[in-house]
Amino acid sequence: MPSKLVILCGKGGVGKTTISLALGLKHATQGKPVLVVTSHPLKELALAVSMDGLGVRFPQAAKNLFIVHIDPRQLLTELVHKHFPVAAAADKVVRSAIFRNLVEVVPGLKSFYFLSRLQNLAERKAPEAGQHRYELLIWDAPATGHFLSTLRSARTFEHYLSGPLAEAGAEVARFFSTAGNICLLPVTTLEEMAIQETIELDRAMRTDFSVRGRTLLLNLVSPMASASAAEFSQLEAAAGEELEMVVGKGRYERSYTEDLRTKLGMPVLPVPRLSHGSSDLELLWRMASLMDIAVD
């Protein structure tokens, strides 16, 4: 049984990385081995979100939560070293202009090897010493255009090449086109460009890969977006002139929320904008406690 692959996707800057880490923390505290695959190099990620104190505050999660950045160039370098047992020869190939140009010029090559590694991690049956079998893989995917071109790269290898690469491409395409393997969680903010990109992403995933989104995450919304109709009506009635702008924002958010729910035909989960707590870790935990999402 392969690991479930949870994909957080959407426009750049909508908060996919923070939500990925919060979701990983939530499931790791439940005893599930979780691997978060981030689009950001780990040093860059550490500057943005600190996980300091994880072992003290969440000892169960510290044993089960793993975070990696998969560099496709490094994967290709490892491939060369695997097939050139003499280290000096492998190093010469990797430093050559031909290799560097091949990596950058061949359409979809880096994306294909990235997806192949993800598939390998998900379908790992008997891990070697020092490896882990993950119950959940969470992919903090790149921005929409890059994300879709990455998924489509496997089909390029399947359809236009022959031999081992074509076979590998067919396997990767099979995995990423099997809805049972994937839990797709689009993420958006309630901004016009992000919303439009989310609608286009949903259409592309359904048409090209027969994968539907499980839940749409609306990030950085006000509490009014998730308030019941009765609660919001009470707020409107009680608000004076000084609060009209705030209530107007609430109407706007609620209108867009319902519009997205109708157009995409999937559940919508508002993720409120949270004030920063005592640490990044506490903020992630508060966010995690709000995300009741079935990913199995």
Place of tokens 């000892």: 59
Which pLDDT band holds residue 200 (cuts at 50, 70, 90)?
very high
Cα–Cα distance for residue pair 36/137, rounded to 1 Å = 6
CA 34 to chain centre: 13
Cα–Cα distance for residue pair 155/172, rounded to 1 Å = 8
Mean of pLDDT values over 129-148: 86
Give me the domains of the chain, ranges plus CATH numbers: 4-222+267-290 (3.40.50.300)
Mean of pLDDT values over 238-264: 84
Sheet holding 4-10, edge to edge: 65-69, 34-38, 136-143, 4-10, 182-188, 216-221, 268-272
Highest mean pLDDT (candidates 121-125, 175-179, 291-295): 291-295
Which pLDDT band holds residue 267 (cuts at 50, 70, 90)?
very high
Please give the backbone phi and psi of residue 188, each rounded to the nearest 5 degrees, phi first: -150, 160
pLDDT in tens, 54-92: 999 999 999 999 999 988 777 667 666 666 666 776 677
Which pLDDT band holds residue 124 (cuts at 50, 70, 90)?
confident
Mean of pLDDT values over 24-43: 92
Of all residues in the chain, what percent carry a pLDDT higher than 70?
81
The answer to whether 146 touches 11, Cβ cutoff 8 Å, is no
Angle between helices 16-28 and 280-290 in degrees, nearest 10: 80
Is the pLDDT confidence value at 23 over 70?
yes
